[in-house]
Amino acid sequence: MKNNQSAEDYLEAILIVQEKKGNARSIDVVNELNVSKPSVSVAMKKLRANNLITIDDNGFIVFTDEGRKVAENVYNKHKLLTDALITIGVDKEEAIREACEIEHIISDQTYECIRKYYKKIKK
C-alpha cells in the first residue's frame, strides 16, 4: 500500500506518543499534532481500513506489523534528516520543519545512502 503524507504523519505521531507515554489514544494524537478531534477520528478510520492500526477495547491505538514498519521508517528518516540539517548549519526549528517535508518524498534508497554517508562522517 502506498501511504500518503498525512497517514505517515499520523503514524509517526502515534509512535512518538507511545514512546513518551507507553501507549496512545486518539486524544493524545490530537494533542501531539494540534489538530481537531474530527480530523483524528477520520484519520484513525482510514488507518484501520488500511490495516495499519487497530484500536483495543480500552481505546488504545495498536500498530499492525505493517503500521509499525511505516511509522518507524518515517520517524527514523525524520530524526536523521533533522540531525543532518542541524549539523550543516540549518536552524533547529527550520531543520525540523524541512525534515518533515523531505521524509515523505525521498526514496528508501536515497535515505539509505544519506544514512550511510552521515554515519561515516559522524565517526
* pTM for the model: 0.88
Number of separate domains in the chain: 2
pLDDT at 1 over 50: no
**Which cell numbers in the block locate residue 34?**
494540534
Q: What is the mean pLDDT of residues 7-35?
A: 97
Residue 121: the pLDDT is: 85
Assign residue 24 the CATH number of its domain: 1.10.10.10
**Least confident range of 2-6, 9-13, 16-20, 70-74:** 2-6
**Which cell numbers in the block locate residue 47?**
488507518
Residue 3: the pLDDT is: 56
Q: Are residues 43 and 93 in the same domain?
A: no
pLDDT at 40 over 50: yes
Cα radius of gyration rounded to whole Å, the chain = 15
Q: Are residues 63 and 74 in the same domain?
A: no
Assign residue 89 the CATH number of its domain: 1.10.60.10
